[in-house]
C-alpha cells in the first residue's frame, strides 16, 4: 500500500467493518433495543473481546503493510485497457513477416485482446474500405498503407482524430497530421544508388542536379511508375533529356544495379543498406537535398467497432518499442530518434505532400508524357 493511499485504506477498513459485522451475526452480539438490554449486557463480556481481538489483528496487519513500503502495481488487464473490448481489426499493406513481430508484442502486452490482421496491397485495401462504406459496413478499426491511399479515406471522412501521446516527440515535421487523423510509421526514402565498381565514391553524384551532367546520359535507371517522386521534384524535363533507362519495380532496379547493368539508379535507401550488408558493391548518395520521403501511415476508423483497442494498437506502432520492431524488419521507422547509430547521416528529408493524391492522375499523365512518350 502506498503512503496516503485512500483507496487501499478504505479497502482495509471495509474489511474491518465486515469482520465485526460477521462476528456480531455469528455471536448474536448486535446491540438490542430495550427491554432486552439487560440480557445483552450480561453477554457483553463474552462477545466484545473476540471482536476486539479480530479487529486488532487486522489493524496490526495494516500497520505492517504500511511499514513494508509500496506494493508493486498490478499489470493492466486487457478489459480495463480496452474498455472491455476483446478484439481489434487491422487492415494493412505491410507484409505478413513484417507485421508478425508487432502482432506478437501486442498480444503479449494485452493478453486476451485478439488482433485480427487483413493484409492486402494498398490499392485493394482502399477499394475494400470504400466498398464496405457504400454498403454501410464498417469492419476495420485501424488501417496502415501509403499516404496517397490514406488521403482518399480522409477525403471521405473515414478517419478519426486521435493524437497519440507517442507523437509528442521523436517525429519530424510532416510525419504527423496536425489534426490527428494519421501518423507515419515507416518511410521510403528516394535516393540515388550507385554501383561502386562502376562509380568510385568520389565520382558519385552529390545532388540531384548532378544527374544532368552529360556523363550520366543513358546511364541512370528509374522505376517507370515513380509518380510521387516526380511530383515532388522540379527538374523533370531536363532529366528526361538524359534518356534514363526505365524498369518496373524498385526491387528489380536494386538487383540490376548490384549486377552492374547501369551505374546509377533511383532506389530506396533501405534496400541499398540491405544489399550492402552481405557485401554487394553498392552505396547511395547521402548529400541529396531534398531526400524525397514517402510515408506509410496509420489511422483509426471514424466508425471503429473497437475504438479503445484501436488506440492501444496505434500507440504501440508509434512507440519507440514498436518502431524498433519495424526497424528490425529492415524498414526505415518514421521516428527520427531511432536513427541507426550515432554515425547515421543527417538527411534533408522532405515528406511528399498528401494533397498530391488529389492531383495524381494529372501527375501520372505528365510523367508518362515526359519519360515514356517516345519509348
The pLDDT tens digits of the residues spanning 155-204 come to 999 999 999 999 999 998 889 999 999 999 999 999 999 999 999 999 99
Is the pLDDT at 32 greater than 90, yes or no? no
Give the confidence band of 374 by pLDDT, cuts at 50, 70, 90. Answer: low
Distance CA 353, CA 293 (A): 10
CA distance 102 to 333: 13
Q: Is the pLDDT of residue 359 over 80?
A: no
What's the pTM? 0.71
Structural contact between residues 324 and 184, judged by C-beta atoms closer than 8 angstroms: no
pLDDT at 351: 86
Task: Give the percent of the chain with pLDDT over 90.
Answer: 54
pLDDT over 80 (residue 292): yes
Any idea which residue has 480522409 for its cell? 154
- Report strand pairing: 349-351 vs 291-300: parallel
| Whether the predicted pLDDT of 52 surpasses 50 | no
Cα–Cα distance between 171 and 219 in angstroms, integer?
A: 36
Evaluate the CA torsion angle 9, 10, 15, 16 in order and state its sign: positive
Average pLDDT (42-68) is: 45
Assign 135 a pLDDT band (cuts: 50, 70, 90). Answer: very high
pLDDT: which is higher, 239 or 24: 239
Q: Which residue has the higher pLDDT, 3 or 286?
A: 286
Amino acid at each position: 500500500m502506498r503512503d496516503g493511499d485512500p483507496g487501499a485504506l478504505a479497502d482495509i477498513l471495509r474489511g474491518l467493518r465486515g469482520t465485526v459485522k460477521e462476528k456480531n451475526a455469528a455471536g448474536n452480539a448486535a446491540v438490542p433495543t430495550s427491554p432486552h438490554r439487560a440480557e445483552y449486557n450480561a453477554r457483553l463480556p463474552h462477545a466484545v473481546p473476540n471482536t476486539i481481538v479480530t479487529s486488532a489483528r487486522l489493524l496490526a496487519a495494516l500497520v505492517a503493510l504500511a511499514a513494508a513500503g509500496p506494493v508493486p502495481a498490478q499489470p493492466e488487464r486487457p478489459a480495463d485497457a480496452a474498455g472491455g473490448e476483446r478484439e481489434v481489426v487491422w487492415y494493412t499493406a505491410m507484409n505478413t513477416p513484417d507485421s508478425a513481430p508487432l502482432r506478437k508484442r501486442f498480444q503479449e502486452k494485452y493478453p486476451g485482446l485478439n488482433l485480427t490482421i487483413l493484409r492486402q496491397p494498398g490499392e485493394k485495401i482502399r477499394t475494400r474500405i470504400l466498398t464496405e462504406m457504400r454498403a454501410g459496413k464498417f469492419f476495420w478499426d485501424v488501417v496502415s498503407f501509403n499516404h496517397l491511399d490514406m488521403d482518399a479515406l480522409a477525403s471521405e471522412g473515414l478517419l478519426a482524430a486521435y493524437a497519440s501521446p507517442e507523437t509528442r516527440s521523436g517525429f519530424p515535421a510532416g510525419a504527423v497530421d496536425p489534426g490527428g487523423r494519421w501518423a507515419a510509421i515507416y518511410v521510403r526514402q528516394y535516393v540515388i544508388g550507385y554501383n561502386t565498381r562502376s562509380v568510385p565514391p568520389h565520382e558519385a553524384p552529390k545532388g540531384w542536379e548532378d544527374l544532368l551532367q552529360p556523363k550520366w546520359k543513358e546511364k541512370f535507371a528509374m522505376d517507370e511508375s515513380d509518380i510521387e517522386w516526380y511530383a515532388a521534384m522540379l527538374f523533370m524535363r531536363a532529366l528526361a533529356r538524359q534518356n534514363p533507362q526505365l524498369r518496373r519495380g524498385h526491387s528489380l532496379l536494386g538487383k540490376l544495379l548490384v549486377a552492374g547493368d547501369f551505374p546509377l539508379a533511383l532506389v530506396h535507401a533501405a534496400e541499398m543498406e540491405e544489399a550492402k550488408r552481405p557485401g554487394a558493391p553498392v552505396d547511395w548518395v547521402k548529400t541529396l537535398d531534398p531526400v524525397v520521403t514517402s510515408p506509410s501511415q496509420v489511422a483509426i476508423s471514424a466508425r471503429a467497432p473497437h475504438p479503445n483497442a484501436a488506440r492501444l494498437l496505434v500507440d504501440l506502432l508509434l512507440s519507440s518499442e514498436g518502431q524498433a520492431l519495424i526497424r528490425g524488419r529492415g524498414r526505415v521507422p518514421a521516428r527520427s530518434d531511432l536513427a541507426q547509430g550515432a554515425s547515421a547521416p543527417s538527411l534533408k528529408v522532405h515528406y511528399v505532400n498528401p494533397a498530391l493524391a488529389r492531383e495524381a492522375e494529372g501527375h501520372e499523365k505528365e510523367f508518362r508524357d515526359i519519360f515514356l512518350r517516345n519509348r
